[in-house]
């Protein structure tokens, strides 16, 4: 059996570099173009015809152009994993969150077009989808998702701003409530009411916490925090990269930096009948490059060697 070949279109960006580094775990051949040809349509089309899988690490418009180039190849077109936002809610594309629902990993493995999830929606969907599926949350529940991320996922300008002397300590943004991650969050969490999503960037390179506050008495059947924990634990039982841990009094945004893991928790107060759901992950790991390599392994029928936390999560 020949070694599967991959072309990363946009390999010089943060996500592309992270994917290339992680691909060292897999028995694949990564093909590249000389820098002078990386924007040449004919050269890109030729290399696409010569590989098994193309990974797109590009802005949305450029990703759509690459998909069109691949489409020109007809039967010689490679399979595509798109790490941009361009196709996450598009028809004909499989959403690349393998643990999202039973059978999702199999769908990814069989797909010719897979959209890698956004970092923020990965945490939000992981927390909400099991509750909606189990009837513990109504699809039209008024959901608020808050999140804080490291600055490394924000592009070159944001990285430069934070790495400059005296960079910003904290940025709350997306306050026009039109963040591009909302459509995939709503669709894949199976929410019929548009959620309020409030993201922020902390003065730390990597790490992420996504949180969802809940009034328990507004949920169907008025469940306890323990009921929510049990629902999440049941959904992710046996998952290699997603686990459910007991709630803590506080969380460190950097707890999963340099891993491809995600840890979910339910922090509850039964006296007040309130809870906060949290997802901790590395925005460059399970939130980007780590998820991409997991999807690549599924699409090519390979076994990924994933980072394992050295200590049990408390």
Catalytic residue numbers, as ranges: 119
Say if residues 5 and 50 touch (Cβ distance below 8 Å): yes
Say if residues 64 and 86 touch (Cβ distance below 8 Å): yes
For 66-95, give the DSSP string.
Answer: HHHHHHTTGGGPPEEEE-SSTTTT-TT-EE
d(CA 216, CA 206): 32
Say if residues 126 and 99 touch (Cβ distance below 8 Å): yes
Say if residues 306 and 243 touch (Cβ distance below 8 Å): no
State the angle between helix axes of 41-49 and 60-71 in degrees (0 to 180), rounded to the nearest 10.
Answer: 60
């Amino acid at each position: 059996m020949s070694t599967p070949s991959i072309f990363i279109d946009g390999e010089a960006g943060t996500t592309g570099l992270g994917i290339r580094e992680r691909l060292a775990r897999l028995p694949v051949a990564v093909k590249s173009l000389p820098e002078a040809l990386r924007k040449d349509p004919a050269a890109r089309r030729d290399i696409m015809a010569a590989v098994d899988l193309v990974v797109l690490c590009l802005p949305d418009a450029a990703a759509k152009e690459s998909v069109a180039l691949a489409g020109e190849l007809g039967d010689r077109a490679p399979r595509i994993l798109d790490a941009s936002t361009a196709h996450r809610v598009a028809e004909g594309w499989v959403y690349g969150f393998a643990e999202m629902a039973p059978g999702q990993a199999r769908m990814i493995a069989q797909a010719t077009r897979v959209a890698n999830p956004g970092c923020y929606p990965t945490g939000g969907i992981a927390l909400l989808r099991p509750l909606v599926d189990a009837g513990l949350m109504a699809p039209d529940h008024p959901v608020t998702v808050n999140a804080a991320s490291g600055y490394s996922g924000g592009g070159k300008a944001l990285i430069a701003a934070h790495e400059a002397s005296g960079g910003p300590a904290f940025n709350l943004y997306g306050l026009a409530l039109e963040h591009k991650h909302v459509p995939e969050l709503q669709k894949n969490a199976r929410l019929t009411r548009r959620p309020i999503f409030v993201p922020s960037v902390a003065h730390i390179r990597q790490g992420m916490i996504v949180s969802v506050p809940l009034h328990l008495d507004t949920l169907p059947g008025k469940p306890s925090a323990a009921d929510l924990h049990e629902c999440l634990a049941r959904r992710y039982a046996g998952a290699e990269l997603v686990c459910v841990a007991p709630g803590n009094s506080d969380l460190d945004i950097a707890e999963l930096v340099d891993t491809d893991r995600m840890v979910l928790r339910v922090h509850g107060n039964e006296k007040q009948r309130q809870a906060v759901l949290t997802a901790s992950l590395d925005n460059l790991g399970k939130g980007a490059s780590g998820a991409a390599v997991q999807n690549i392994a599924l699409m090519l029928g390979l076994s990924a060697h994933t980072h394992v936390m050295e200590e049990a999560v408390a």
